[in-house]
Structures are given as C-alpha cells and as structure tokens.
Amino acid sequence: METSENPVRLHQVVEYLDTWLRTTEVPDYSAAFNGLQVEGTRPIRRIAAAVDASEEAIRRAIASEADLLIVHHGMFWDGGVPVTGRRYRKLKLLIDAGVALYSSHLPLDLHPEAGNNALLANALGLELEGSFGGYKGVALGVWGRLEVSREVLAARLDDVLGQRVRLIAGGPEMLARVGVITGSGASMMDEALAIGLDALVTGEGQHHTYYDAIEKGINLYYGGHYATETFGVKAVCAQLAERFGFRWEFIDVPSGL
C-alpha cells in the first residue's frame, strides 16, 4: 500500500464521513456506536477497510502501516464491558500504534452510493424501484425488478459473492421483484411479502426462517453475513481515496458465516 503525498488530519476525514454517511442522523442499535470509535494520533496517509473490528484485522491494518481502519462492525457490540481480555488487546494495539478506528453500521448499509444493499443489488443487475424493511423510521433494504429464474439468481449470487449461496425455494420459479437486505435481514421477510416481492436476498437468518419462507411463499437466499457486507467498506475507502488521495486496501478476514 503506497503513501499519500499530502497527509490529512484525522478530524477532516471524520467530519467528511460523518456528513457523507449521515452518521448522527441514521438510527442504529445502541451498541453500534457509529463514527470514530478509537482516536488515532497519526496524520492520515494510508487507510484500510475490514468488515469486522477483529483482532486479526487490527493487527493486519497496523502491519500494513494504515493510519485509519474503517469497519462495518465495530468494537463494542458486547456492550459496556470492562477493558480486559480481547477488548484490552484490541484497544492496546490501536492506541500503541496510534491507529484510528471508524465504524459505520446501518448508515453504511442503507447509503444510496456506498451502501451494502445498493451495491449488492446493482451487482446482481436489479433495476431499483424502492425501499423496504423499516427500522426506527428508516428503510434498511432496497428492491427492484429482475426477471430471471430463481436458479439463475442463485448462480449470479454465487459469482458475485464468490461462494455458494443457500436458496430456500419457497416462492415462484420465475422472479420479477427482488429485495436485498445484507447481513441478517431475514426478519424483514413479512415486509418483503407485504410489498409483493418474489425473493429476498440476505446474509443469514434463524432456523425457523426456512419453514417461514416455504410456508409463506417467498424465495429466500442466504449468501453469508460476511460475504454480503464486504461492499460498503470498500466503497467508503474508494471514496476517501478519490477525495483525499489516500491509498487503501481491503483486509479480508472471512468468518464463513
């Protein structure tokens, strides 16, 4: 990863991201803590992206001499717990290296340009027409038209995500209206049915969703929580590279889930 010739102060990047992603406007789960999660001490020349703020991702970002790590799933999902064990190790790594950590969860999922949902939908060839999947007054998912068979969509997902997807074939064989909510979006199945979708593409869901899809009459695609959420952080880093001249890399630490 190369170095930007003109280093930028961290606050400039944070202010830009907070505005562009609408970080303080988009509601989220209480433990998401969107925005700057760990303050760094270095000017920003290099950045890295990862889906999760895992210890391995942090170590690899530091090894690559990144000054800022941007993630989708931040450090504090387990709530306000003591700074011991893995929490201590992660914070110590970042603080000792002076590397900043910025996280964006739902603001990134639903962003119209850099969002996981919009980017996956575009990669699948959907002609987007609307949104669905309400959460605290905002729509999380997108839907559009795609006239293919359910098997063709499964094969397309395999190619886009780089792994085999799980198709629960509860809906019509030929598709016309398809919704996308990356990550864990199976809970929005009823909303997808209410607006007449033939298929819902997401990452994962609970065991009972198999029977829900079969009995309610919708095609449900599980592409993997991790695999469906690699798009957004890459797009954010690409945007920052264009605006500030940073070099960046994606740190791939797949969970297989």
The angle, 0 to 180 degrees and rounded to 10, between the axes of the packed helices 150-161 and 116-124 is 120
Low-confidence ranges of the chain (pLDDT < 70): 1-6
Q: What pTM value is reported for the model?
A: 0.94
Q: Which fold has domain 10-104+230-250?
A: 3.40.1390
What is the percent of the chain with per-residue pLDDT over 70, rounded to a whole number? Answer: 98
Give the C-alpha separation, 59 to 64, whole Å: 9
**For the chain, which residues make up each domain, given as ranges?**
10-104+230-250, 116-229
pLDDT of residue 78: 86
Condensed to tens digits (0 to 9), the pLDDT of residues 140-180 reads: 999 999 999 999 999 999 999 999 999 999 999 999 999 99
pLDDT of residue 112: 96
Burial annotation 86-109 (CB, 10 A radius, 16+ → b, else e): eeeebbebbeebebbbbbbbbbbb
Give the C-alpha separation, 143 to 201, whole Å: 10
Helix runs in the chain, H state only: 10-20, 55-63, 85-97, 106-109, 116-124, 150-161, 189-194, 209-216, 231-244
pLDDT of residue 3: 45
Please state the length of the chain.
257
Asked whether this chain's domains 10-104+230-250 and 116-229 adopt the same fold, the reply is: yes
Condensed to tens digits (0 to 9), the pLDDT of residues 206-232 reads: 999 999 999 999 999 999 999 999 999
Number of alpha carbons in the 13 Å side-chain half-sphere of residue 52:
15
pLDDT of residue 1: 41
Q: Which fold has domain 116-229?
A: 3.40.1390
pLDDT of residue 7: 80
